[in-house]
């Protein structure tokens, strides 16, 4: 079984959530090719949240804070400001690309090493109110499976984030074409 199969079994997407994305156009605007598992996740689940807490950033979203391009620009500014103020960040700004956010203001990043091999990128989290950078040695779909199943605990996430029966709640995405 793949991580995608595991996620579908663990947290079925809502009916009719599938969207089409013009990936070449979007990746050109972003300036980087994205991992295949992320593309699958976006196309299969669409915009929404896992356990009403964790949001995967989207190419198109009615909610500004969950748009990937805008979030990437803002995250780079914030990381640079933190560095200028003396905070120790274990990655260079250009090695981090946000992929998710939480209701608590935490951010999930891809560690974009090597940049030309996006399917080998791993995931790191950073809490809004701490300086921890817990790392997960896998892609975003494997991360979701591990965290939502309870196999992996992210210390910066609240304990009640993990549910016995995890859920995904979608919301409409204007501009994305439904399949």
> Residue 19's pLDDT band (boundaries 50, 70, 90)?
confident
- DSSP tag of 35: P
**pTM (predicted TM-score):** 0.93
> Residue 179's pLDDT band (boundaries 50, 70, 90)?
very low
Closest by alpha carbon to 46, among 63, 58, 38?
Answer: 58
Q: Is 149 exposed, middle or buried (0-12, 13-18, 19+ CB in 10 A)?
A: middle
Domains detected in the chain: 3-178 (3.40.1580)
DSSP 135-179: EESS-HHHHHHHHHHTSS--TTS-GGGS-SS--EEE---TTSEE-
* pLDDT tens track for 79-128: 999 999 999 999 999 999 999 999 999 999 999 999 999 999 999 999 98
Q: What is the mean pLDDT of residues 8-14?
A: 95
* CA dist., res. 84 & res. 166, Å (int): 39
């Amino acid at each position: 079984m793949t991580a995608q199969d595991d996620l579908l079994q663990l947290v079925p997407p809502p009916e009719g959530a599938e969207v089409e994305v013009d990936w070449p156009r979007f990746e050109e605007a972003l300036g980087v090719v994205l991992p295949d598992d992320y593309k699958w996740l976006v196309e299969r689940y669409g915009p929404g949240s896992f356990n009403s807490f964790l949001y995967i950033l989207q190419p198109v979203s009615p909610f500004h804070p969950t748009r990937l391009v805008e979030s990437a620009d803002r995250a780079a500014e914030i990381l640079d400001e933190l560095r200028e103020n003396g905070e120790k960040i274990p990655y260079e700004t250009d090695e981090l690309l946000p992929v998710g956010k939480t209701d608590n203001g935490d951010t999930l990043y891809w560690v974009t090493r090597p940049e030309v091999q996006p399917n080998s990128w791993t995931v790191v989290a950073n809490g809004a109110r701490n300086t921890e950078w817990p790392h997960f040695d896998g892609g975003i779909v494997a991360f979701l499976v591990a965290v939502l199943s309870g196999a992996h605990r992210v210390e910066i996430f609240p304990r009640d984030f993990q549910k016995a029966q995890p859920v995904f709640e979608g919301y409409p995405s204007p501009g994305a074409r439904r399949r």
